């Protein structure tokens, strides 16, 4: 499987122009989406996909270092609560509250990162699972500040222009393009090669001169700050912030997006975000059977494409070559 | 002052003894062979120098600075390169990407110039520049591991069993290249080897290890002539 993915990575590299064309086409489609599909449901769906693309792509950055974090939604929550509270209690403008929220998530990541990034594999999963649960408990139990299980209502729109669904869609889309762009830029640079090296062989990277822990912490901090963007925007979109939106289930969702899309490529995370956000919504028509269908589809995809949906591309190319 | 000084080194892995009081010194531009059978303490010594093996006893200093407590990446930045046993490369990455990881923390411009220089030493790697490291032959992977360790222009290179599992002609070629680099860059090398014949032919001096202790030390040419050493290590 690894060799299939490796081959795919190699064969796409020289065709950068084709990739750029694809990205430009997708951007155009997303920009024109509300004009083409005037329908409110599809607009809301596209907004959610844009928001989840931020979380999935930022988690992808951590996954590329070889760590699967189950605390990602917790970090979103830290950013969300800090931003909402600083706006509603301290009267800060949205433009200041958003970076402040992300900074808070980054600070928590910086405090906890050097401790937890020393463990790998299933132990990292366990530790982050617990940490995510601790964060959720803080959101739930610190009633005086967070409003407890009820959360905080009537979160104001970021600005009057973003108060409409259409305005908010473009805000979410812009944020997603920016955040995904940052992740893509990091992975495409020399830092990306360092990340690949320390995922493949941590000790070898260390004795090749890479300060492994420092780099893993740096990547973790950046990824958690980016996840914060989703946390903040989501609170404004729902006009509500409460602990359920930052629970383990949400973290698991982001992990599944990466797994089902394909963990080796950033595009996999985006495909996963699209798939996992759109599919349950599109199955809404069959309310009682929704979860059953969803589960069956997940199982089929994972059984047929262990490398994720992105593997379809590699398979098609291999087929084309075989002819 | 010697470039590297190892004094009374005692490596321990829990209750297991890695080395038991090894001492030696190395000057700039010198090739030192560290010879001995399996478990003699060769790898443990190299790992201790690089900060990867704990040594409750003894001291290691490099260019006048004590290395105890430094992380491997810091020691690499101090000027010690390391090619671990088993020709370890980042197999999913290309040859040139492997080299750029070795040149971590240096500018892209520096790295490009350094890679061109290393391709002069290792023309086989130049031919394979864009190829996945995992698809290289054993000899090429060993060359890549050495070249990666040489990326930050170290003053001292630690090689752990570079000849292991390679065809004799490739081993000879690697020896020639090492000599060429030693002359051109004033590089010092510690060569930990079971292939004593080859190591002693390449080195100026040698330290022979046995069960974690120094069994003999001296000029490689002299050691090659000593009958008890020929019997024990050279199969003669």
In chain A, residues with a C-beta closer than 8 Å to the C-beta of B149 are 208
Mean pLDDT of A34-57: 88
Would the pLDDT of A3 be above 60? Answer: no
From the CA of B134, how many Å to the nearest CA of chain A? Answer: 10
A208 inside 8 A of chain B by CB = yes
Is B192 or A41 the better-scoring residue by pLDDT? B192
Would the pLDDT of A2 be above 80? Answer: no
Which residues 6+ apart lie within 8 Å of A126 measured at CB? none
Q: Is A211 helix (H, G, I), strand (E, B) or coil?
A: coil
Range of the domain at B187: 4-233
Query: Which residue in A160, A184, A167 sits closest to A270, CA to CA?
Result: A184
Among A83-87, A189-193, B23-27, which stretch is predicted with the lowest mean pLDDT? A189-193
Reported as a pLDDT band with limits 50, 70 and 90, residue B236 is low
Reported as a pLDDT band with limits 50, 70 and 90, residue A20 is confident
Residue B181: predicted pLDDT: 94
Q: Report how far residue B38's alpha carbon sits from residue B15's, in angstroms, rounded to the nearest whole number.
A: 19
A190 inside 8 A of chain B by CB = yes
pLDDT tens readout for residues B72-117: 999 999 999 999 998 899 999 999 999 999 998 788 889 999 999 9
Residue B174: predicted pLDDT: 94
**Count of domains observed in chain B:** 1
Residue A8: predicted pLDDT: 40
Q: Report how far residue A182's alpha carbon sits from residue A233's, in angstroms, rounded to the nearest whole number.
A: 17
Mean pLDDT of A301-321: 82
Nearest CB among A196, A200, A212 relative to B73 is that of A212
CATH number of the domain that residue B46 is part of: 3.40.50.300
Domain boundaries, chain A: 2-322
Would the pLDDT of A13 be above 70? Answer: no
pLDDT tens readout for residues A240-250: 999 998 999 89
Query: What is the model's pTM?
Result: 0.88
In chain A, residues with a C-beta closer than 8 Å to the C-beta of B72 are 206-207
Assigned CATH for A2-322: 1.10.3470
pLDDT tens readout for residues A277-299: 888 777 777 767 777 877 888 78
ipTM, two decimals: 0.88
Is B38 or B51 the better-scoring residue by pLDDT? B51
Would the pLDDT of A14 be above 90? Answer: no
Size of interface A-B (CB pairs under 8 A): 62
Report the half-sphere exposure of A311 (CA within 13 A, side-chain side).
19
Q: Report chain B's C-alpha Rg in angstroms.
A: 17
């Amino acid at each position: 499987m690894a060799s299939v993915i490796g081959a795919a990575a190699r064969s796409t590299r020289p065709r950068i122009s084709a990739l750029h064309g694809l990205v430009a086409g997708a951007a155009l489609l997303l920009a024109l989406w509300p004009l083409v599909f005037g329908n409110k449901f599809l607009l809301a769906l596209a907004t959610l996909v844009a928001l989840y693309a931020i979380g999935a792509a930022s988690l992808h950055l951590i996954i590329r270092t070889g760590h699967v974090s189950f605390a990602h939604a917790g970090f979103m929550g830290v950013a969300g609560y800090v931003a909402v509270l600083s706006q509603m209690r301290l009267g800060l403008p949205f433009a200041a509250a958003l970076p402040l929220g992300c900074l808070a998530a980054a600070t928590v990541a910086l405090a906890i990162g050097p401790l937890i990034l020393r463990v790998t594999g299933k132990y990292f999963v366990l530790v982050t699972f617990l940490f995510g649960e601790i964060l959720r408990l803080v959101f739930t139990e610190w009633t005086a500040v967070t409003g407890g299980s009820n959360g905080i209502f009537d979160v104001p729109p970021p600005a009057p222009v973003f108060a409409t669904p259409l305005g908010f869609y473009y805000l979410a889309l812009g944020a997603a393009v920016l955040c995904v762009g940052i992740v893509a830029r990091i992975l495409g640079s020399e830092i990306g090669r360092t990340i690949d090296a320390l995922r493949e062989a941590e000790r070898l990277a260390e004795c090749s001169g890479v300060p492994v822990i420092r780099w893993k912490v740096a990547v973790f901090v950046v990824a958690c700050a980016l996840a914060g963007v989703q946390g903040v925007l989501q609170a404004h979109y729902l006009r509500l912030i409460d602990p359920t939106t930052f629970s383990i289930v949400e973290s698991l969702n982001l992990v599944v997006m990466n797994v089902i899309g394909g963990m080796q490529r950033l595009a996999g995370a985006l495909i996963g975000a699209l798939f996992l956000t759109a599919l349950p919504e599109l199955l809404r028509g069959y309310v009682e059977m929704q979860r059953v269908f969803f589960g069956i589809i997940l199982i089929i995809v994972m059984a047929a494409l262990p490398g994720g949906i992105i593997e379809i591309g590699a398979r098609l190319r291999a087929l084309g070559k075989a002819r | 002052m010697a470039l590297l000084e190892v004094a009374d080194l005692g490596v321990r892995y829990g209750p297991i003894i890695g080395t038991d009081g090894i001492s030696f010194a190395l000057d700039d531009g010198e090739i030192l062979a560290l010879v001995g059978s399996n478990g003699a303490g060769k790898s443990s010594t190299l790992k201790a120098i690089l900060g990867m093996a704990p040594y409750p006893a003894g001291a290691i200093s490099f260019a006048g600075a004590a290395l105890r407590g430094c992380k491997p990446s810091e020691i690499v930045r101090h000027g010690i390169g390391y090619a671990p046993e088993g020709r370890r490369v980042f197999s999913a990455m290309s040859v040139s990407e492997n080299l750029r990881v070795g040149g971590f923390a240096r500018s892209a411009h520096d790295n490009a110039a350094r890679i061109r220089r290393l391709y002069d030493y290792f023309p086989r790697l130049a031919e394979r520049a864009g190829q996945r490291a995992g698809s290289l032959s054993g000899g090429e992977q060993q060359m890549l591991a050495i070249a990666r360790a040489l990326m930050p222009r170290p003053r001292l290179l630690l090689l752990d069993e570079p000849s292991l599992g390679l065809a004799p002609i490739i081993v000879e070629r690697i020896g020639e290249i090492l000599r060429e680099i030693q002359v051109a860059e004033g590089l010092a090398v510690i060569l930990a080897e079971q292939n004593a014949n080859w190591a002693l032919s390449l080195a100026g001096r040698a330290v022979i290890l046995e069960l974690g202790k120094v069994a003999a030390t001296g000029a490689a040419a002299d050691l090659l002539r000593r009958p008890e050493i020929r019997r024990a290590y050279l199969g003669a």
